[in-house]
Chain A
Amino acid sequence: MNMEKYLDVINACRFCFMCRHLATLAAATGKEADTPRGHALIADRIRMDKAELSNPDYIRSIYQAELSGACRKHCVSSYNEVGLMLALRQDIVEAGLAPAAVSELAKEFMDVQFKVSGDGDMLYYPHPCIETHQPEIAKAFLSVVPNVKVVEGGDCGKVLQILGFVKESQAVAVRFQAAVKASGCKTIVVSNPAAYDFLKTDGAIDGITVLHSSEVLLKAQLGSAAKLGKLTFINSDFLRNYQDCHAPKELLAKLGCEVEGFGANCEDSYACGEGSMPGIRLFPELTRKMVAHVAGIAKRFQVEAIVTPSPFTKHALMTYAPELKVLAIEEVAAAAKL
């Protein structure tokens, strides 16, 4: 089983509570099973009795995990609880035990074709999120960096990987890779941190440099965005917890924004389930709870406007807390255009 590659995680996390305060979904649901300890206990039960892999309660918990990576980043030993959950999802799929809703959602992401248009030395991949095109994000980026080719068509394989369909994810990645290679560009820029993570790891393309949009915008000639007033920053889990990319914060500083971190600490994830993006389709009620948790904090600290490099987070917040003002980092940069 794939989960057996993570026995060290099971052994370390099953009786450990030291990251519970950062368990993102658990903070919204209060459930023990939504913590890395809860996940590791479930994995341990399955390790001891393989038949338990078909336990519908365990399968639901495994798919509900929000995969923020906040606990892994906090852990002094960096135990990879995210890897464990992804391995369990892969085991579920390979055993033919994926719930119907998961399989149906996965099918939507298998049959994708990519096409490249435009002209430039750099390739921009705007596909931002799970179920919306969020055209304002691409429009804002392209208003600052217009001379790029654009690759479109759908998700490059990350969603399928998150769902546990690893072989299918790789098949999509190969098609994406072919489109990128055919473009002749050596650099690809993405607005979606999930794609950034995928293209830096399992979906990496030989000879191609991957940049997040904020890394490119950092080098653009821009003025001040201070006129936007006080902004509160919600980071992307993929950028902060997976890839240690701090370009968005550097960009905001360069733009002269008055920026404050969201909430009362810098370790919590407020990305509303970005790490497991398809969760918004599978368990919308859980996304709503995570958003309600974030909205409650925003209200308590009188947040005026939120800025985030995560299109998913913007989408989730605007769907379930439309009263909040949320800007993508590309939109802030566009406001500073000279």
Chain B
Amino acid sequence: MLISRQSYSYEMLRSELTWVVGDDNVQTDCSEKLAHSIDYYWVPEVWHDRGLKPQTPTFIVHPGSAEEVAEILKIANTHKIPVTPWGGGSGSQGGALPMYGGICLDTKRLNKVLEIDPVSLTVTAEAGIIMQHLEWEVQKAGFSTMHFPASIACATLGGFIAHRGTGVLSTRYGKIEDMIMSMEVVTPTGEIINTLPVPRHASGPDLAQVFLGSEGTLGVVTKATMKIHPLPAVRKFHAYLFSDLHSGMVAGEKLMARRLAPSVIRLYDHASTISIIKRVLGIERKGAYLVFGFDGEEDIVDLQMKKAVAICEETAVEDLGTEGGQTWWDQRYKFYYPPYTFQMPQAFGTLDTVATFANIENVYWSMKDAVKEHCPEANYIGHFSHWYDWGCMLYARFIIEKPPQDAAVAVALYNRIWDAAIRAAIKNGGVINEHHGVGLKLGRIMRDLYGPAFNVLEGIKKTLDPNNIMNPGKMGFQGV
């Protein structure tokens, strides 16, 4: 149901919403609509850049409690109005775009830290809190969430839950789905439910995992309890240069296969090493740059570091030392600030894929071939981050320096590259994706990725959201 501003139904709905959250928390002005019409997805950005106007929400509503969220969803069900949750709005997949107008449910008033439990080492917070604010408060109490994603400054706790987000220390501390203990969720029909208080149990399937990664299609997460950790006594890094991607990959795999416990490993391909590593870190080398780090008690860190160094020394062509690694840690967010990040007029996409060690290099090369086939002038670079016992994530990117000026032509080319690259990745054992989510961008691929299992997801969606009000048209689910 699309609502015209001139209609009486618009005013009736607006007034109903103000009864729930107050006049001040229902916005309809041009400034807020503009800011909620573009997230971190390149397509609405280019739409705006070319002077076109992306779809805006009809209402931006800022609830201040789970009860208010529930009331808003009940109103939306009554009127069958689409509701698009919006946390920080910094998702790269178009997941927060209000593509059918309706209500944009901005969660940022839900921003309180409720409790830090120093005995169980947990923190409970409202889900609209910006992650950096949560981390700062936890650090003030002497702990850390150990969740340090590039989007820490802008994304909310709920946003990370919605997209199964990852921070740079994921190898040791896990992804958000490993960090979350329990959640409060408002279902699409307006019931407030809680998942079980601990994540390890035998009381049936883990309900929390149904909502983790559901991207606002199955409800709104309003509160979460997550693990926290003591601040580490030391955190140490080391970097090496390898002659090529494969030798760096083998070293990283060995490090994981020996079951060392690094907090982070990152391996940059040659194209990234000679461009991004040079530009951001000032390290000017040819080959593949590998950095790793350990944290915790100093003697344990030193012992693990010694073993990791020995592995790398076998095949590395240059030891860049602790300084070469520490620089990466110190500058880890700089990669994402303009002008160090990619930005207009470039077209760019992050082909986030995760696979086993047996498949990950094939995924890298197959995506490169697909990108080059569909756009020979595109550059293709990649790095491997978020290493686990069984495999890792490939953060591959394509960059087109001068995309077509016509927005429709540019979007068509962009979509074609994405489609070809991701299908090539899936064919070679890759999964979309490790932490960016699906959103609008990749919804069409979900059925192929899951096969018949997607019917199960659709069944859950239909049961929880019979009127299909929650973020319709995302994650491959039905649109309006």
Contact = CB atoms under 8 A, between A and B. Distances in A.
A312 B35 CA distance: 30
A35 B35 contact: yes
A58 B35 CA distance: 11
Contacts of A76: 334, 337, 340
B89 interface: yes
B377 interface: no
B29 A57 contact: yes
Given A15-B344, A30-B109, A38-B35, A21 B153 contact: yes
A17 interface: yes
Interface string A61-75: 100000000000001
Kindly state the interface size class of chain A when it binds its partner. 35 or more
B35 A37 contact: yes
Interface in A16-39: 16-22, 26, 30-33, 35, 37-38
Given A32-B106, A264-B136, A60 B31 contact: yes
Nearest to A74: B153
A49 B34 CA distance: 14
A13 B106 CA distance: 21
Contacts of B113: 300
Kindly state the interface size class of chain B when it binds its partner. 35 or more
A33 B30 CA distance: 9
Interface stretch (A40-48, A162-170, A314-322): A40-48
Contacts of B133: 21, 264
Interface in B18-45: 27, 29-32, 34-36, 38, 40, 45
B374 interface: no
B153 A18 contact: yes
A285 to B, nearest CB: 8
Given A17-B88, A20-B88, A264-B139, A44 B48 contact: yes
A79 B339 CA distance: 10
A243 interface: no
Contact of A32 (B32, B48, B139): B32
Contacts of B51: 48-49
A41 B30 CA distance: 11
A18 B333 contact: yes
Nearest to A16: B338
Contact of B130 (A21, A32, A77, A301): A21
Contacts of A42: 31, 34
A20 B153 contact: yes
Contacts of A45: 34
A265 interface: yes
A63 to B, nearest CB: 11
Contacts of B137: 264
A174 to B, nearest CB: 36
B428 to A, nearest CB: 32
Interface in B376-401: none
B338 A12 contact: yes
Question: Max chain A CB contacts within 10 Å: which of B89, B109, B139?
Answer: B89
A55 interface: yes
Contacts of B340: 76
B337 A75 contact: yes
A301 B136 CA distance: 13
Contacts of B38: 15, 41
A11 interface: yes
A49 B343 CA distance: 22
B450 interface: no
Given A20-B88, A32-B106, A264-B133, A15 B35 contact: no
Interface string A221-258: 00000000000000000000000000000000000000
Contacts of A77: 337-339
Question: Max chain B CB contacts within 10 Å: which of A18, A75, A263?
Answer: A18
B52 to A, nearest CB: 10
Question: Max chain A CB contacts within 10 Å: which of B30, B89, B132, B339?
Answer: B30
Contacts of B225: none
A301 B344 CA distance: 43
A48 B48 CA distance: 10
A22 B153 CA distance: 8
A34 to B, nearest CB: 9
Given A32-B106, A76-B340, A17 B153 contact: yes
A93 B208 CA distance: 54
B154 A33 contact: no
Nearest to A30: B108
A78 to B, nearest CB: 10
Contacts of A300: 113
A265 B339 CA distance: 26
Interface in B54-85: 60, 62
B171 interface: no
Question: Max chain A CB contacts within 10 Å: which of B35, B36, B333, B344?
Answer: B35
B151 interface: yes
A58 B45 CA distance: 19
Interface of A: 11-22, 26, 30-33, 35, 37-38, 41-42, 44-45, 48-49, 55, 57-58, 60-61, 75-77, 79, 263-265, 300-301
30 contacts: A12-B343, A14-B48, A15-B40, A15-B344, A17-B40, A18-B154, A20-B130, A20-B153, A21-B130, A21-B154, A26-B108, A30-B111, A31-B35, A32-B106, A33-B29, A33-B31, A33-B32, A33-B35, A35-B35, A37-B35, A38-B31, A38-B34, A41-B48, A42-B34, A45-B34, A57-B29, A61-B31, A75-B337, A264-B140, A301-B140
Interface of B: 27, 29-32, 34-36, 38, 40, 45, 48, 51, 60, 62, 88-90, 106, 108-109, 111, 113, 128, 130, 132-133, 136-137, 139-140, 151-155, 333-334, 336-340, 343-344
Q: Which 8 A-B pairs have the closest CB atoms?
A: A32-B35, A17-B154, A33-B31, A30-B108, A57-B30, A264-B136, A12-B338, A61-B31
Given A17-B153, A21-B154, A58-B30, 19 more contacts: A12-B339, A12-B343, A16-B337, A17-B40, A17-B88, A18-B333, A18-B336, A20-B88, A21-B130, A21-B153, A31-B27, A31-B32, A32-B89, A35-B35, A44-B48, A45-B34, A61-B29, A76-B337, A301-B140
